[in-house]
């Protein structure tokens, strides 16, 4: 590493050491005597954690933008990039009609899925939003039934 990445790596090592040291202090702490001071310190930890998460996300976006392909392996670590998507303004009635038209027939028995089976496969029982993976598996172009806003890149570890 050279230049800014070398400095960032050094700074990250310092932060990691400080976090480890603070963790050891917290683990060996007696019961909290000064509640006000403890809450104030906890709030500062929350702010630092938020700032670190923002930096991590900015790094992920920059790396994702620089990646020529969906997956990249470096130093034995493979990551996969994904774009954040926010989907709103669903055309629920139209989507439901298309979902119900995607009846799957069992090739061995010739038995077709019931409408209830289709609904259970696509819509979770604990909510009203369709499962995106289930819609895509049925060949439904999800983004045709909603407004999609694309955000920053995210990275995920990839395992085959």
List per-residue pLDDT tens for the chain, 160 residues long: 446 776 688 888 898 998 899 888 888 888 888 899 989 999 999 999 999 999 999 999 999 999 999 999 999 999 999 999 999 999 989 999 999 988 888 889 989 888 888 888 888 776 667 889 999 999 999 999 999 999 999 999 998 7
Quote the CA–CA distance of 110 and 112 in Å, as a whole number: 6
For helices 115-122 and 92-100, what crossing angle results, to 10°?
120
- For residue 92, the cross-strand partners are none
Would the pTM of this model clear 0.75, i.e. be above it? no
């Amino acid at each position: 590493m050279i230049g800014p990445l070398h400095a960032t790596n050094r700074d990250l090592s310092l932060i990691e050491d400080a976090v480890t040291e603070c963790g050891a202090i917290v683990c060996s702490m007696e019961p909290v005597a000064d509640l006000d001071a403890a809450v104030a310190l906890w709030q500062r930890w929350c702010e630092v954690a938020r700032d670190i998460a923002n930096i991590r996300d900015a790094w992920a976006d920059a790396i994702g933008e620089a990646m020529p392909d969906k997956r990249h392996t470096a130093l034995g670590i493979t990551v996969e990039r994904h774009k954040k998507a926010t989907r709103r303004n669903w055309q629920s009635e139209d989507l439901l009609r298309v979902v119900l038209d995607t009846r799957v027939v069992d090739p061995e028995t010739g038995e077709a899925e019931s409408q209830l089976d289709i609904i259970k496969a696509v819509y979770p029982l604990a909510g009203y939003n369709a499962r995106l993976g289930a819609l895509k598996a049925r060949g439904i172009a999800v983004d045709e039934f909603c407004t999609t806003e694309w955000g920053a890149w995210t990275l995920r570890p990839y395992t085959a």
